[in-house]
Amino acid sequence: MGKLSGKTALVTGASRNMGRAMALRLAADGALVAVHYNSGKDEAEAVVETIRQGGGKAFSVCAELGVPGDVADLFAALEAGLSQHAGATTLNILVNNAGVLGGISPEETTSEQFDRIYAVNAKAPFFLIQRALQNMADGGRIVNISSGLTRTANPDEIAYAMSKGAVEMLALHFAKHLGPRGITVNSVAPGITRNDNPVFSMPEVVTAMASMSAFNRVGEPEDVADVVAFLCSEDARWITGAFIDASGGTLL
C-alpha cells in the first residue's frame, strides 16, 4: 500500500517534463492520477500507459488553459474520468503545474503576450483551486509550481516571474482560508531543471547551468516530483502556506 492509496490527484501540464515526473511519482505512491494536457495527446497517453504498466492507475484529461471556459472544460473531463475509474468525483490532490514561459525582452513584450502568460500561469490556477474545492475532500492537498525566478533575476522573463509571484500568493492566502478544512496549500519553486529544450543537449551549456547549483548539476524532473509527492502526503500535514525552494541551491 502506497502513501497515497485511495487518493485521487489532478496534475496539470502532466504530459512531459516535470509534470510527467509528478504524475508518475504520485501514481507510484498509489494515487489515481488525472494526467492533464493541452496539445500533447500522444505524450499524455504515453504517461498513462507507463503508469498502468507499472501497476498504477491513471487517465488523461484535455483542456486548454488561459481561455474562456477552460476550468469548466477541464472539470467536466475530470469528473467523467473520476466517475469511471473511482466511482465518485472526489478529488484529494491538485497540482497546478501547467505554465508558459516568456523568453521575451521587456522592450518587446506585448500586451497580448503578457495577458497570455498571466492567464495560464496565475489566473487559471486561482480558478482551478476555486472549482476544485467543490470536489476536494477535507484534508486535501494543493501544490502550486512557482519558479526560482521569483528570487533571481532574468530580464527576459519579467512577465513570467511576475505571474509566478502571483502564484505564490495563492499558497499564502488560500492556506489561511482552507486551514479549517485541513487542506494544505504550498508553493514549490524549481530552478534549472532538465526538460526537452534543445539546450540540454549541449554539454557546454549544461556545464554552465550546473555551476549555478550548490550541487554542481542541473535538476532532474524527479528531484522536483519527489518534493511535490512529500507535500501531497500525510507526512506534510503540518506544512501549509509555505514556499519550498527546490532549485538545488541555485545562486546561494
User: Which amino acids are annotated catalytic?
Assistant: 160
Q: Are strands 184-190 and 136-145 parallel, antiparallel or unpaired?
A: parallel
Buried b (16+ CB within 10 A) or exposed e, 21-36: bbbbbbbbbbbbbbbb
Per this entry, what is the length of the chain? 252
In 3-state terms the chain splits into helix, strand, coil percentages (rounded to 5) of 50, 20, 35
In contact, 221 and 195? CB cutoff 8 Å: yes
209 by Cβ neighbours in 10 Å (0-12 / 13-18 / 19+) ranks as buried
In contact, 224 and 193? CB cutoff 8 Å: yes
